[in-house]
Amino acid sequence: MDKIKVIKTEQDYQEALKLVEDLIGRDPNPDSAEGEQLSLLGTLIQDYEARAFPEALPNPIEAIKFRMEQAGLSPTDLVPYLGSRSRVSEILSGKRQLTLEMVRALEVGLGIPAKVLIKKPDMGENMEDNSEYQIWDNRIVSEMEYRGYFGHDSLKKSSKVDLLKNFFSSIGQQVQIVGMLRKSNYRSSPLTDKRALAAWSTRVIQKAKDIRVSKKYKDGIVTLIFMQKLAKLSVKENGVLLAQRYLKEHGITLVVEPHFPKTYLDGAAILINKDNPVIGLTLRYDRLDNFWFTLMHELSHVALHYNQDISLFYDEIEGVTADVDDKERQTDALAEESLLPIAKWEVSPARLIPSSMAANSLAKELGVHVAIIAGQIRHKANKYVYLNKIINEAKVRNYFPNEKWNK
């Protein structure tokens, strides 16, 4: 798409999504030319999606729960809109219907359209199993079908609800998707669709189940020394695959699943199965430095947060503009130290002169690939035009030829 135009076809749509992703990565000022392009593209994409992917109205109760999840609200936060704690409980459990006053209050206060709230629940619907799946965006389901997430099944053969239920139950248990989304830590763009993340991460879990890992992970194995030893594999010709094998030998499964539309994910640490933690990478950027830093970031989650309540960490490494929390700051610090120790950086000529010669010298001293050091120099200087030749020549997707990288 050389210029912005009305989106008429699926190809136009995919090109527009790709352009939006590129623009978001640049974090343009809203008043700049690129910022105006991003705003215009968003409007055009929404218009096309409304025409191409008509969506059935969700169940009112599930719409409220979803809005609560989005805004981080508790049932107590609904009291001003519904009247009392007991009434909130009755509404959320389906024992009481919404009144016109409640509908108006929720529409104004939480932004839930009245047409959704006044929809009568289908009395034949199994609320526990089906209502969450009913409100899934058809675009996500279509993308899942394209990627083969449903195997030989399809939207032509089965309903959306059945496809999603079978998909999520395939990892060994009936997953409660809303609960899965809530028990996660998100370092991501506000434009990210959390259901798309759930689909992607479940696919990663599926892939991990197909990889035989004979050894259980022992808490405490992943340390700074462990990570630094792993990073030294980067100088090998097939260091990426050697790293995958090395982690497997220590009970950790590394899975690659290309990034999902409507997300801007680089990687995730999935700690649901304590015996074998899973690291999922999207390779959103076909760069060796991004692979290694994202891998170390997710390993840092394993090292620091293995026995905590959160079982899923979704991470947008590049392009995230929101302030990160303490967990993410600690994780970043450990990942950076594993690749370029601060003591080495402080006395390195590369700190003052970001040249390819200085990068190569520091990489040789540390025993890691020069692209890793080039990436760290760019990051620390906040100058992403530095050392482009080194960065752009070190690719990573070629190690995973069976994945679909073109779309």
In tens, the pLDDT along 363-389 reads 999 999 999 999 999 999 888 888 999
Q: Percent of the chain scored above 90 by pLDDT?
A: 47
At 197, the amino acid letter reads L
pLDDT confidence bin for 172, thresholds 50/70/90? low
Structural domain ending residue among the three candidates 280, 314, 335: 335
Task: Tell the residue number behind the tokens 């016109």, with chain if given.
Answer: 100
In a domain, 386, yes or no: no
In a domain, 377, yes or no: no
In 3-state terms, what secondary structure has residue 35? helix
Mean pLDDT of 229-235: 97
Tell me how far apart the alpha carbons of residues 357 and 350 are, in angstroms, rounded to a whole number. 8
266 domain residue, yes or no: yes
Look up residue 196 and give its amino acid.
Answer: A
- Closest to 89 measured CA to CA, from 101, 104, 76: 76
Structural domain of 331: 182-335
Residue 382 lies in a domain: no
pLDDT band at residue 182 under the 50/70/90 scheme: low
Into how many domains does the chain fold?
Answer: 2
pLDDT, tens digit (0-9, with 9 covering 90-100), for 65-116: 877 876 778 899 999 999 898 899 888 887 788 888 888 889 888 888 887 7
Q: Find, among 368, 395, 377, 369, the residue nearest to 228 by Cα.
A: 368
Last residue of a domain, one of 335, 353, 379: 335
For the chain, the 3-state helix, strand and coil shares in percent, each to the nearest 5, are 55, 5, 40
pLDDT at res. 363: 96
Give the separation between CA 403 and CA 327, rounded to whole angstroms: 31
In a domain, 373, yes or no: no
Give 332-350 pLDDT, tens digit per residue.
999 999 999 999 999 999 9
CB 286 within 8 A of CB 397: yes
Given 335, 361, 388, which residue is the final one in a domain? Answer: 335
Domain annotation covers residue 105? no
Q: Report if residue 211 sits inside a domain.
A: yes
Question: End-to-end CA distance of the chain, in Å?
Answer: 14
pTM of full prediction above 0.75: no
Tell me whether residue 235 is in a domain.
yes
